[in-house]
Amino acid sequence: MYEEKASNYCHCRLCQKAIGAPVAVFTWVPTENFKFSKGQPKRYASSDKGDRLFCGDCGTPVGFDTKGPVIGVTVPTLDNPECFAPQQHIFVSSRQPWFKDNDGLPHLKEGPDSDSI
């Protein structure tokens, strides 16, 4: 399960396609404690795991609604992204071979509960 307020680099293929980049940065917060300050995002069901949220005016990906106790928010779209530094890389098994990082953070093969690689 996603840890409250944990921020991750996500290398999964769904994020790559939804974000249009090799990696997405999400932070996970309790759904009940989160609200959009201006307008409501559009959504589409990208998988059985939840809905992708995006701005209906400009298309910016803003989040991932698990329809559960936590919601994922794309960190770069927050007012204070510097406060949500990623703590690990997840779904590294899907990382593009040409994408390199050497930030020293843990690299998890799959989701947050998987083994490090």
Interface stretch with Zn ion, choices 7-15, 37-45, 72-80, 100-108 (CB under 5 A): 7-15
Residue 107 CA to residue 94 CA, distance in Å, equals 12
Residue 77 CA to residue 79 CA, distance in Å, equals 7
Which backbone phi and psi does 61 adopt, to 5 degrees?
Answer: -70, 125
| Among positions 15, 71, 92, 108, the unique one binding Zn ion when judged by CB under 5 A | 15
Amino acid letter for position 11: H
Q: Taking CB under 5 A as the rule, does residue 12 contact Zn ion?
A: yes
Interface stretch with Zn ion, choices 13-21, 29-37, 54-62, 101-109 (CB under 5 A): 13-21
**Interaction site with Zn ion (CB under 5 A):** 10, 12, 15
